[in-house]
Chain A
Amino acid sequence: MKIYTSIDEVQAGLAGQGYVCDRALATVVYLALTLGRPLFLEGEAGTGKTEIAKALAVALGRRLIRLQCYEGLDAASAVYEWNFAEQMIAIRAAEAAGGVDRERLTHELFSEDFLIERPLLQAMRPQEGGAPVLLIDEIDRTDEPFEAFLLEALSDFQVTIPEMGTIRAPAPPIVVLTSNRTREVHDALKRRCLYHWVDYPDFEREMEILHARAPEAAARLSRQVVAFVQRLRTEDLFKKPGVAETIDWAKCLLALDVIDLSPEVIADTLGAILKYQDDIQKLQGSEARRILDEARATLEPA
């Protein structure tokens, strides 16, 4: 079972999976792993919050269990559910065969065969390779009753199924919660976790990320792409492009065999970085040219 003993090892381990993170994030990840506390990552969309959980799972050799949150998510969809259809068929079959023994029927019907395990319960089961990585994605999309339920589940790491008993996790899973901040997550949940705000990276780090994720891109094109996106983030947009958008755009340009950025190419591929019509309209015409020139100007001395 792989264990990290220092922050440098965490950074190296994640870099080995193609995830470039800064020292602050590596520190928080190391603390979460060592102290056994959940990790709460908040930030704008597209900054690599979900990616780090995936990279961590592969780097540590653990299974990744993902719970995607949405409004109205309740315990039934998050923890477990009984397979009612099969249970009813089993009841009818037993009745048809004749001689229904109530005790045995109840015992059989509420057994593991008829239990549908959802992510939270799956995370409590023993896995080979060690405790799994439980990714609870976009917790800000659920509502407060689910947060209260999660608070309880994360403190004890055990689930009680009335018909079967209590299931405890042999080793507490590594929990990563992500949020896009469309709603303020309650402080009680944040306090249980180690909090980190994931910001947009700076030029050097974004170059490293692009090199790790899209290595086929030539250095010249990568520099232009990163400089343009960095410049774009200083503009007044409704939704600034994230790192995921940079990587997507680089791959689009590669597919189009582009060598150098030009205003025409930018106008054609703008949909890869900007996802709102107001922002795209703002960038038509001379705006794109102006930003491209400014981005090129920052590259000259380098």
Chain B
Amino acid sequence: MAENIPPDLPDNPRLTRNITHFARALRKAGLLAGPGRVVDAIRAVEAAGFTRREDFFHTLRACFISRPEHRAVFAQIFRLYWRDPRYMEHMMAMLLPAMRGVQEERAAQAAERRAAEALLDGITPETPTPEGGEDDEESEIEVDASLTMSREERLRRLDFEQMSSDESAEARRMLARLTLPVRPVASRRGQASPQGARIDARKTLRAAMRRGGEMRRIHRARPRPRWPNLVVLCDISGSMSQYSRMVLYFLHAVANHKGAGWARVHAFTFGTRLTNITRHLATRDVDAALAAAGRQARDWEGGTRIAACLHEFNRDWSRRVMGGGAVVLLITDGLERDAPETLAREMQRLQLSARRLIWLNPLLRWDQFAPRARGIRAMLPYVDSLRAGHSIATLEALGVAISQPDDIGEKARLMTVLG
């Protein structure tokens, strides 16, 4: 295919080959470097010349990276590669069998984890027929409830943390069908509509030109709707463990909902540190998605540092994901270790940047819940809506509430308790 080779590539085959191999090394590191970029890089190096090594570095960097996060990785690979290309080749060759092993190991770990979950989740054992009075009233209540409500109805109201592994599995199936409906907002773009308020002069005149200037009809336009973004901040510390796992299933369903939904769903987990798991939620298989997210977020079931994590979110991410008025869903119990003043400040900044800030608190599962903890008292004034979210029924209620813009949930009642 001689005609496909661009005629102005330099005659230096070694340079071409080296740059191509360099692109392969970048690809292995996770940077996207396709053949188009390789050709551009070769042309650029020819144009820039070889006078200084740093110019060479800057030239290649301008062609191969598109994000500031990639600069550090690029610098490292550049240093390794252009010192001795064979070094990189050896490293890549050595890594390959190990990488295969890692894949298998990961598959084994996922299966093991599921098995462990299956074993350990059944803390309340599934005894179908209680033998005697040694079981507590819980099993008796179960029997009673199953007579009055259907099984699915009961599952909807059951608290996530009290589910056995069977019930969890079925609840996950039900969660996969839940959605979080969203009402679109008006944007500045127009779309044709006979009843619109704006006059579309362009279209009117073009139509008139077909009749030699006679305007038969005035075309109108109305604002085109657009859907806002959703940003979810989910607490995965020890106090929220079983609950947060189920909520992540729900989030995966929301993020993968086909049809008119949120424009973009960004998801973050936090415990002792903040992790962005948005990309993992894009995987269609929910177990694979959550396994990948679990690997990336290392602070599962650790302590809680809400203020520090919110500060990191406000500083690094809020300007990038909250554009265009995003709805923020904050899922945490509010039990915070650090001082409450920083928490209040971070919550205020979060509320100022978001269109709506909705707090899902599993502690609302108890009717007598009163905001006594310092963290909760600090956070409460700055949210727009406070809702319970400990069971499937409450998540469905969230779905209803989120489409009503002035819904405040339990906030009013608890603010009066705060005094």
Contacts and interface: CB of A to CB of B under 8 A. Distances in A.
A84 B201 contact: yes
Contacts of A194: 44, 62-63
Interface string A25-59: 00110110011010000100000000000000000
B62 A195 contact: yes
A286 interface: no
A183 B48 contact: no
Given A182-B319, A182-B320, A191-B37, A35 B47 contact: yes
Interface in B81-123: none
Q: Name B's interface SS.
A: helix
Contacts of B320: 181-184
Given A7-B55, A95-B213, A74 B314 contact: no
B58 A109 contact: no
A37 B201 CA distance: 36
A124 B324 CA distance: 32
B43 interface: yes
Interface in B156-208: 187-189, 201-202, 205, 208
Given A105-B213, A181-B319, A184-B320, A72 B62 contact: no
Contacts of A100: 212-213
A88 B205 contact: yes
A275 interface: no
Which size bracket describes the interface of B in this complex?
A: 35 or more
Contacts, number: 97
**Interface class of chain A by DSSP:** helix
B58 A24 contact: yes
Interface string B16-54: 000000000000000010001100100110011100001
Interface stretch (B65-73, B143-151, B366-374): B65-73
A110 interface: yes
Nearest to A194: B62
Given A72-B189, A100-B212, A23 B62 contact: no
B48 A27 contact: yes
A108 to B, nearest CB: 11
A71 B324 contact: yes
A7 B345 CA distance: 47
A82 B205 CA distance: 9
A148 interface: no
Contacts of B66: 187, 190-191, 195
A256 B68 CA distance: 39
Nearest to A193: B66
B59 interface: yes
Given A106-B209, A184-B320, A197 B62 contact: no
Nearest to A195: B66
Contacts of A102: 212-213
A99 to B, nearest CB: 12
B317 to A, nearest CB: 11
A60 B251 CA distance: 53
B323 interface: yes
Contacts of B187: 71-72, 143
A24 B65 CA distance: 14
Given A82-B202, A145-B189, A181-B320, 10 more contacts: A27-B55, A37-B40, A72-B187, A84-B205, A95-B213, A194-B62, A195-B65, A196-B62, A238-B349, A278-B345
20 contacts: A23-B55, A27-B55, A27-B58, A35-B40, A37-B40, A71-B188, A82-B205, A84-B202, A87-B205, A100-B213, A105-B213, A109-B213, A143-B226, A163-B209, A182-B320, A187-B66, A195-B66, A196-B62, A236-B315, A238-B349
